[in-house]
């Protein structure tokens, strides 16, 4: 990789039922601070896969279904995460219509030492316009 490069790239063949192997230099770049696990996130509409190193072998996916998006939804959600001392690994959102929006966030389980996922879920459900909050545990 050149000193002035921003990305790394390698071509591979996509074959059903066969794993994709990452080159050694990719694995080295993905393991800062000795992290040995990662969450893989695929956005099917963009066909982009993200590989995000994690502290632990478990990541929590929070899916927030929003019935009516309020102007201050993101501010309220952000303040909950800040107050509870939680950093997300990755987050994204999409509004399908004016009355159907989804926000997804991924949290390393290491972030949940001081607060429970039930507390986070309860607080997020109280935000105006939120119709439901679903939690999924992703493990190796």
Overall pTM > 0.75: yes
Residue 44 in any domain: the answer is no
List, as own/partner pairs, every contact residues 49-56 make where C-beta atoms lie below 8 angstroms and the sequence separation is at least 24, other chains included.
50/90, 51/22, 52/89, 52/90, 52/106, 54/89, 54/108, 54/110, 55/108, 55/110, 56/108, 56/109, 56/110
Residue whose C-alpha is closest to residue 134's, from 60, 59, 62 = 62
Residue 127 in any domain: the answer is yes
Q: Which residues of the chain have pLDDT under 50?
A: none
pLDDT value for 1? 55
The pLDDT tens digits for 65-93 are: 998 888 899 899 999 999 999 999 999 99
The pLDDT tens digits for 1-10 are: 556 788 889 9
Residue 22 in any domain: the answer is no
**Domains contained in the chain, number:** 1
Domain that holds residue 73: 58-139
As a whole number of angstroms, the distance between CA 88 and CA 23 comes to 27
pLDDT value for 83? 95
As a whole number of angstroms, the distance between CA 47 and CA 66 comes to 24
pLDDT value for 96? 80
Residue 45 in any domain: the answer is no
């Amino acid at each position: 990789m050149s000193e002035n490069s921003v990305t790394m790239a390698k071509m591979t063949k996509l074959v059903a039922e066969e794993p994709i192997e990452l080159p050694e230099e990719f694995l080295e770049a993905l393991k800062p601070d000795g992290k040995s696990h990662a969450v893989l996130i695929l956005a099917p509409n963009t066909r982009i896969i993200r590989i995000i190193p994690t502290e632990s072998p478990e990541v929590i996916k929070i899916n927030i279904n929003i019935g009516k998006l309020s102007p201050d939804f993101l501010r309220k959600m952000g303040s909950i995460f800040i107050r509870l001392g939680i950093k997300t690994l990755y987050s994204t959102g999409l509004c399908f219509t004016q009355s159907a929006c989804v926000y997804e966030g991924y949290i390393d389980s290491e972030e949940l030492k001081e607060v429970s996922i039930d507390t986070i879920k309860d607080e997020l459900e109280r935000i105006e316009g939120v119709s439901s909050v679903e939690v999924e545990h992703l493990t190796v």
